């Protein structure tokens, strides 16, 4: 595989810079909350700066090639090396993780959830960032696995410590699910390693050699990976951790979870499972597609049944990630492009929705939909932003959500050669129905929350009208990049598609075109 090795320090720096920030934080004396926040902010800005530098140096004309490739010995005994690089698939997600982290840091500057403890909170956030970024740049399965798992603990604590009422249950559930998935995934990785001659864990190497594994073996290995990634996505029926985790997580946790963490799973499919195990992928694709459409409808039904705003948004993630998985299951470059776009779009939109949910919770002290109403009257700006995000989320053309959703449906009409066309067309119709459901639950949500007259009974004695302030400066700072991103990507989807496409084409070349 072609690799460009110029400037290969940037990825390592960009990935591990947050750890440096954590170290600095740890060394600071106690009770220096402001200083801690400052360090976190500076670190995340610096990280993003490195990220932007990476993007600037990235050769977009050769987006299909791994760039900034760095390779060092790491665990030579087990033939795993520190091999990193980005191509068109990973770069946008890599940057997304940095942007989201910065925004979350900004948001957290004055929205620190109970019980405070800024030092621990920001440290975890930055560790999380390292894990996320690292997952997207790792080109070695073991390295990938390490980073993939690195995000677990910080998120566990973020939910468990700073979360809502049921946080402990939710955090353990989140953790156990993911652990279960990744344990099987690790077994699959190892099986892969040995079946390709125990030579290397490097992904490019495995892509070259994985195809020669016997089909029935591939199917089993794929099964292991499937569970690992599907839990993370999450696909039906591995999704039940998600609503709990989201509902209980603090706003920041939900945002990161939705915006980046869920993508680790789908990214894993595109980066690892499909290209390395093409034969198995073809066998599995219809089932993945089936689960995806079940997820779409099921998530939507779940949404309709919710009375809690945050939980509803969480269920909508199940549905949206269903579209992403549907795109992947077509095994066509268009479908995977759509999936990649859907990942980014979902990150921006659902992340934004969770931010809003956080702000709603902060102001109304409840997320019970029936207790909120007339938001547009009380906080018009927040209401409009919410409306904008709902529209984006339901896939309105011209906003980012559409370009993940419609192309996925479109690509389902014509899946890759060898897949059962009829089955996929049925999927297509079901998925298209899913868009109706999406409209239903989002608009219904919006109608109940934003429209109507304010419900005064929702306010207990603590919350007076003064608390119902409209969007604050910090919120604007944290949100506007997302809002702009949603709009810009909606109008100019090619910004992303042109980056993804070459890399996706290369990824799919194992399927013979």
Partner 1 sequence: MQNLNLLSAQWVAPTVDYHGLAPELVVAGGLCLVLILDLFIDERKKWLLSIISSFTLLAAMIPVITLALSETSVRSMFGDRYVVDNFSLVMKGVFLLAGYVVVLLSSSHVEEGEYWRGEYWFLLLSSLLGMLMMTSSRDLVSIFVALEFLSIPAYMLAAWRKRDPKSNEAGVKYFMLGVFASAVMLYGMSLLYGVTNSTLLVDIAAKTTATGDFAAVQVLAVVFVIVGFAFKVSAVPFHTWAPDTYEGAPAPVTAFLSVASKAAGFVALVVLIYTAFPLAQDIWQPFIWVLSALTMTVGNVLALKQKNIVRMIAYSSISQGGFVLMPLAVAGMAGSGSSALRSVVLYMIIYAATNLGVFGVILAVSRKTRSGEVSSFGGLFSYAPTLGVLMTLFLASLAGIPPLGGWIAKFAAFQSLLQSQSTWGYALAIIGAVNSVIAFGYYGNVMREIWMRPVPDGDTTPIQIPGSLSLALGITSVATLTFGVLPGVALHFADLAEIAGAIIR
Partner 2 sequence: MNLFSNADAEVLAPLTSGWFLDHAWLIPVVPAIAFALIILFGKRMPFKGSELGVLSMLASLVLSTGAGYQWIQRVNSATEEQFVDPVIKSWTWWQNAGFEFGIGQHIDGLAVLVLFVVAFISTLVQIYSLEYLRGDRRYTHFFAALTLFSGGMLAMVLADNMMLLLLGWEIMGLCSFMLIGHWWEEDVNSKAALKAFFTVRVGDVGLLVGISMLYFAANDWTRENLDVSGFSIRGISAWALSGEPNSTVIMIAAVALFIACIGKSGQFPLHTWLPDAMAGPTPVSSLLHSSTMVVAGVYLVARLYPVFFVGLDIPGGGGNLIVIIGGITIVISAALAFVQNDIKRVLAYSTVSQLGYMMLGLGAGAWMPAVFHIFTHAFFKACLFLGAGSISHSASHHSFDMKRDMGGLRKVMPITFATWIISTLALCGVFPFSGFFSKDEIIDNVGHNGYGLFMIIALIGAFMTAAYMTRATYLTFFGKPRGASAGHADHSAHDAHDAHDSHDAHASSGPHESGLLITVPLIILSVLALSSGFLNATPFGESWERMKLWVEPRHSAFAPELHHAPFMWSKALMSLAIVFLGIAVSWVLSFRLFTKRDPRLVGLTQRVKILGVGHKFLVNKYYLDDFYEKIIVRNIAGPIASAAYWINQNILDGIIHKIASSSRLISGWVYRNIDQRVVDGAVNNSASFTKSVGTAAQPSQSGKVSQYGALLFSAAGVAALVLVIINT
Q: Are 438 and 395 in contact (CB under 8 A)?
A: yes
Segment (H or E) for 69: strand 67-75
- Pick from 107, 177, 205, 424: which binds partner 2 (CB under 8 A)? 177
Token pair 């402990």 is found at 168
> Applying CB under 8 A, which part among 75-83, 343-351, 425-433, 441-449 lies near partner 1?
75-83
Structure tokens at 197: 């001659």
Q: Could you give the C-alpha distances from 140 to 179, 193, 223, 267, in angstroms and in order?
A: 20, 11, 20, 14
Structure tokens at 254: 């939900």
Size of the site for partner 2 (CB under 8 A): 57
Cβ-based nearer residue to partner 2, 197 or 397? 397
Cβ-based nearer residue to partner 1, 158 or 353? 158
The DSSP symbol for 399 reads S
The CB-of-219 to partner 2 minimum distance in angstroms stands at 24
Find, among 24, 6, 163, the residue nearest to 69 by Cα: 6
Q: Cα–Cα–Cα angle for 269, 169, 135, nearest 5°?
A: 25
Alpha helices in 365-461 (DSSP H): 375-378, 380-393, 400-413, 421-450
Binding mask 245-284 for partner 2 (x = CB under 8 A): ----------------------------------------
Token pair 């680790």 is found at 264
Contact call for residue 401 and partner 2 (CB under 8 A): no
Contact call for residue 137 and partner 1 (CB under 8 A): no
Q: Could you give the C-alpha distances from 288 to 269, 328, 423, in angstroms and in order?
A: 11, 9, 12
Contact call for residue 418 and partner 2 (CB under 8 A): no
Binding mask 111-130 for partner 1 (x = CB under 8 A): ----x-x--x----------
Residues 6+ apart with CB under 8 A from 29: none
Largest CA distance in the chain: 68
* Phi, psi of 441, deg, nearest 5: -70, -35
Q: Could you give the C-alpha distances from 276 to 91, 204, 207, 280, 286, in angstroms and in order?
A: 20, 9, 4, 9, 18
> Applying CB under 8 A, which part among 351-359, 363-371, 398-406, 467-475 lies near partner 2?
398-406
Contact call for residue 493 and partner 2 (CB under 8 A): yes
> Applying CB under 8 A, which part among 145-153, 274-282, 389-397, 499-507 lies near partner 1?
145-153
Contact call for residue 133 and partner 2 (CB under 8 A): no
Binder of residue 198, out of partner 1, partner 2, none (CB less than 5 to 8 A by kind): partner 1
Binder of residue 152, out of partner 1, partner 2, none (CB less than 5 to 8 A by kind): partner 1
> Applying CB under 8 A, which part among 164-172, 265-273, 402-410, 426-434 lies near partner 1?
164-172
Contact call for residue 55 and partner 1 (CB under 8 A): no
Q: Are 290 and 427 in contact (CB under 8 A)?
A: yes
> Which residues 447-476 are close enough to bind partner 2 by CB under 8 A?
447, 450-453
> Applying CB under 8 A, which part among 103-111, 205-213, 461-469, 495-503 lies near partner 2?
495-503
- Pick from 428, 471, 478, 510: which binds partner 2 (CB under 8 A)? 428
The CB-of-364 to partner 2 minimum distance in angstroms stands at 18
**The 3-state secondary structure of 251-268, one letter per residue:** HHHHHHHHHHHHHHHHHH
Q: Which spans of this chain sit near partner 1 (rule: CB under 8 A)?
A: 73-78, 115, 117, 120, 142, 145-150, 152-153, 156-157, 160-161, 167-168, 171-172, 175-176, 179-180, 183-184, 186-187, 190-191, 193-195, 198
């Amino acid at each position: 595989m072609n690799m460009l090795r110029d400037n290969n320090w940037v990825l390592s720096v960009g990935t591990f810079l947050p750890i440096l920030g954590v170290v600095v934080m740890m060394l600071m004396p106690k009770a220096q909350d402001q200083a801690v926040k400052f360090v976190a902010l500076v670190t995340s800005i610096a990280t993003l700066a490195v990220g932007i530098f990476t993007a600037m140096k990235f050769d977009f004309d050769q987006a299909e090639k791994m760039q900034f490739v760095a390779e060092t010995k790491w665990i030579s005994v087990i033939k795993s090396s520190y091999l990193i690089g980005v191509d068109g698939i990973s770069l946008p997600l890599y940057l997304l993780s940095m942007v989201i982290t910065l925004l979350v840091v900004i948001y957290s500057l004055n929205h620190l959830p109970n019980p405070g403890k800024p030092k621990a909170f920001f440290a975890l956030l930055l560790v999380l960032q390292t894990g996320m970024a690292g997952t997207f740049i790792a080109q070695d399965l073991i390295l990938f696995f390490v980073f993939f798992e690195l995000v677990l603990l910080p998120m566990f604590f973020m939910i468990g410590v700073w979360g809502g009422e049921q946080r402990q249950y939710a955090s353990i559930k989140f953790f156990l699910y993911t652990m279960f998935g990744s344990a099987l995934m690790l077994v699959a990785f190892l099986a892969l390693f040995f079946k390709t001659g125990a030579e290397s864990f490097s992904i490019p190497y495995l892509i070259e050699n994985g195809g020669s594994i016997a089909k029935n073996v591939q199917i089993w290995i794929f099964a292991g990976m499937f569970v690992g990634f599907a839990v993370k996505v999450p696909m039906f029926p591995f999704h039940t951790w998600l609503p709990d985790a989201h509902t209980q997580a603090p706003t920041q946790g939900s945002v990161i979870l939705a915006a980046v963490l869920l993508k680790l799973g789908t990214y894993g499919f595109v980066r690892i499972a499909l290209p390395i195990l093409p034969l198995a992928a073809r066998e599995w694709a219809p089932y993945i597609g089936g689960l995806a459409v079940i997820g779409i409808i099921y998530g939507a039904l779940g949404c309709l049944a919710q009375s809690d705003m945050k939980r509803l948004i969480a269920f909508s993630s199940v549905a949206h990630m269903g579209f992403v998985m549907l795109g992947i299951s077509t095994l066509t470059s268009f479908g995977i492009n759509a999936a990649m776009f859907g990942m980014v779009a979902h990150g921006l939109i659902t992340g934004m929705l969770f931010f809003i949910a956080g702000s709603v919770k902060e102001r109304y002290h409840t997320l019970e939909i029936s207790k909120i109403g007339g938001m547009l009257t009380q906080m018009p700006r927040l209401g409009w932003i919410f409306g904008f995000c709902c529209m984006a989320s339901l896939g309105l053309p011209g906003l980012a959500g559409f370009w993940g959703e419609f192309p996925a449906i479109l690509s389902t009409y014509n899946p890759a050669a060898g897949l059962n066309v009829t089955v996929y067309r049925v999927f297509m119709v079901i998925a298209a129905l899913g868009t109706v459901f999406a409209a239903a639950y989002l608009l219904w949500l919006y109608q109940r929350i934003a429209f109507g007259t304010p419900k005064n009974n929702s306010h207990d004695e603590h919350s007076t009208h003064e608390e119902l302030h409209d969007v604050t400066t910090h919120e604007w700072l944290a949100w506007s990049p997302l809002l702009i991103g949603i709009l810009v990507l909606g109008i100019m989807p090619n910004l992303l598609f042109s980056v993804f496409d070459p890399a996706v084409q290369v990824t799919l070349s194992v399927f013979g075109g």
